[in-house]
Structure 1
Amino acid sequence: MDNKKKNPSILETNIFYLVLGTLLIFLGGFVQSREIYSGLLITQYLIILLPTISYLKIRGYSLKNTLKLNKISIKQIVLIPLIVIFAYPVGAFLNYIFILFLSNFIKIRPAPIPIPSSSPEFILGLIVISLSPGICEEILFRGMVMSSYDKLGKKKAIIISSVLFGVYHFNLQNLLGPIFLGAIFGSIVYKTKSIYSSMIAHGFNNAIALTIGYFLLGKMDKIQIQSEAIDISANSFATILSIIVGLIFSIVCASISYSLYKALPESKEEIEEELIEDYNFRKLDYIPLVGVLIIFIFYNYMFLFNQ
């Protein structure tokens, strides 16, 4: 098979993932600490998107094949946001449960993403926090990463790329939600055979979070939000009640989201895939991920547990 038709190997993708993760923590963290919006743009386009596209081009991989740059239909465009609307509460509930667990060991910190306080900031947030990650992060995770793991089978590719996506946020408080949503994005990509579908899903998901923050939480002080989260975790009756209500609501939303996913038309686009049996498993492939895990543990220990 010609190199132009192959996807990157698991080892080179994992090494690339380790390099980008390191850049995200140190360079991305630095530029975001100086100014959050410009820092996020630098992170998305110069630390994630540009290196990913450049690497694939330099190595001679087909961008169309690796990134699944295929058209999507109008019906798919309409259904994808609906799938995300009902999947979002499930991801939020998973994060909430995990935060309740973590609150027994650490002091919960408010989300680092800025909450818009005005209409211009809200519009800026839609560009920086919704649109940009929807493009850049999907190119990396549902593009390069998931395509590299194709050789293990679609289910494993979805699961592994979703876990790597969740870890890449380097935020223990925001881990389960992104992993769950990453699985949704990956499933949508395989069904539509187009990365444009996950870009829409990802961007719309972030827009939901931003909109909720702007209209419901924008007037609240971050310290107040933080203290309320701790108070809830300390009240056993309120905790149990919130879990029961959240669980029921999440089950209903998950059922609706799954039904909409089943109704999502499958693409007829032909994509050349590497055969599963052609791949020889090597433990060496996953050594770079150990490095990412060490960074993840150290980073969260310094900023969450070491308070």
Structure 2
Amino acid sequence: MRIRSSPTINEVNVLFLALGLLLLVFGSMAQQRDLYTGVLITEYIFILLPNIIYLKLRGFSLREVLGLKSISIRQAVQIIFIMIFAYPMAVFLNYIVIVMVNSMSQAMPIGVPVPTNLKEYIIGLLVIAVTPGICEEVMFRGTMQSAYNRIGDKKAILATALLFGLFHFNLLNLLGPFFLGIVLGIIRSKTGSLYGSVLGHTVNNGIAITIGFVLTGLNENLRNITEQAPVMPEGMQMIVTLVVLGGWALFSFVVLYLLLKNLPESNREIEAEDDYEPHEEDLVDRPEEIEYDSERFLWAPVIIIAGLFIFLNYRYFFLL
């Protein structure tokens, strides 16, 4: 008798669709009223809470599915450096898409407000860095990656990274999150702990907030330097930016690879909670039944989200 200790791919795909629709309909409405309050509502009520409720109702062990185990100080320090060197690569990938889209459309989405003082900076860190770091990691590197692990660790990392990218519903912010999703998935896999990917996600978003805050403080000096510098054609500016970002990203990627390769691995075995009681349908008599043929996977929910992603971005960038 074997116990199915994690959700199936079909189950998490349906969950992915449901939460994606919640995000698009109610999350967008909440964020339009007030961005920071809307983000808190979206992350905690529309992402984190449904995942926890689903796992508890299905009788799964939160500790086992999510990987709630401690990481070492050495792992934590190395994860911070991993995300520092992953950030330039994510920026470069997003910039490539921006250049491509900008050549066909002038429509640009409004980004997250840049903090202009210490109070706004701290609030930004809590709302934009810590909150998604917790809530989105519970969903993607916790619930979803645990389910997708049944098709293999590497495939699970790639699949959840792709779904993570689609879940942003922003063409200009697709490749960056996809790449970061791979990095966070590797961290989750090697450490066996969700805390590692939560730390990594929080550090990445914190870097973005911090850079924006620092540049705001230097804005006046940068404006003076820009006004005195010779004016370059827009096309040349893009080429120079691509070269600079590309060189920075290449160097960072080499260091990132070495850091990920040498990230200390942990014992992935986690004892189940004492009150974990599996459902009857989670008990299988034959070990081979735990393996699922890919043809039996329900991909319709993922296809629907991908279709919505394409439709919304095409409508915004090319029809407006």
Amino acid at match of 2:101: L
Identity %, equivalent residues: 43
Compared CA separation, residues 37 and 293, structure 1 to 2 (3 A): same
CA distance in 1, matches of 2:187, 2:74: 13
Contact 1:152–1:276 (CA under 8 A) maintained in structure 2: no
Contact 2:116–2:216 (CA under 8 A) maintained in structure 1: no
Q: Which residue of the partner structure matches residue 112 of structure 2?
A: 113
1:301 has 2:300 as partner: no
Q: Which residue of the partner structure matches residue 274 of structure 2?
A: none
Aligned-pair distance for 1:269?
A: 3.6
| More displaced 10-residue stretch of structure 1: 97-106 or 171-180 | 97-106
Name the SS for the 1:282 alignment partner.
Answer: helix
1:279 has 2:292 as partner: yes
Amino acid at match of 2:39: L
Name the SS for the 1:297 alignment partner.
Answer: helix
Q: Which residue of the partner structure matches residue 290 of structure 1?
A: 303
Give ranges in structure 1 of 5+ residues lacking alignment: 225-231
Superposed counterparts of 1:151-230, under 5 Å: 151-217=150-216
Amino acid at match of 1:294: G
Aligned-pair distance for 1:237?
A: 2.7
Contact 1:70–1:269 (CA under 8 A) maintained in structure 2: no
Q: Which residue of the partner structure matches residue 147 of structure 2?
A: 148
Aligned-pair distance for 1:282?
A: 2.5
Superposed counterparts of 1:1-307, under 5 Å: 3=3, 5-217=4-216, 235-271=234-270, 278-282=291-295, 284-307=297-320
CA distance in 1, matches of 2:288, 2:179: 27
CA distance in 2, matches of 1:128, 1:217: 19
Name the SS for the 2:150 alignment partner.
Answer: helix
CA distance in 2, matches of 1:32, 1:285: 31
Contact 1:233–1:239 (CA under 8 A) maintained in structure 2: no
Aligned-pair distance for 1:8?
A: 0.8
Amino acid at match of 1:301: Y
Aligned-pair distance for 1:217?
A: 4.2
| More displaced 10-residue stretch of structure 1: 243-252 or 29-38 | 243-252
Per-residue CA shift, 1:22-42, capped at 9, x if unaligned? 000110000111111111000
Name the SS for the 1:95 alignment partner.
Answer: helix
Per-residue CA shift, 1:166-193, capped at 9, x if unaligned? 0100001110000000000000111000
Aligned-pair distance for 1:241?
A: 2.6
CA distance in 2, matches of 1:167, 1:276: 31
Count of aligned pairs: 296
Per-residue CA shift, 1:210-264, capped at 9, x if unaligned? 111111147869xx9xxxxxxx997333322322222222111111112122221
Compared CA separation, residues 30 and 304, structure 1 to 2 (3 A): same
Compared CA separation, residues 142 and 234, structure 1 to 2 (3 A): farther
Give ranges in structure 2 of 5+ residues lacking alignment: 224-230, 272-286
Compared CA separation, residues 234 and 175, structure 1 to 2 (3 A): farther
Name the SS for the 1:285 alignment partner.
Answer: coil
Q: Which residue of the partner structure matches residue 229 of structure 1?
A: none
Compared CA separation, residues 67 and 236, structure 1 to 2 (3 A): same
Per-residue CA shift, 1:139-173, capped at 9, x if unaligned? 00000111111011011100010000001000011
CA distance in 1, matches of 2:140, 2:116: 31
Aligned-pair distance for 1:283?
A: 5.3
Aligned-pair distance for 1:298?
A: 2.2
Amino acid at match of 2:172: Q
Q: Which residue of the partner structure matches residue 282 of structure 2?
A: none
Compared CA separation, residues 144 and 96, structure 1 to 2 (3 A): same
TM-score (norm 1): 0.90
Amino acid at match of 1:140: M
**Bigger Rg, which one:** 2
Compared CA separation, residues 233 and 91, structure 1 to 2 (3 A): farther
CA distance in 2, matches of 1:73, 1:46: 31
Aligned-pair distance for 1:7?
A: 1.1
Query: How much is the aligned-residue C-alpha RMSD, in angstroms?
Result: 2.4
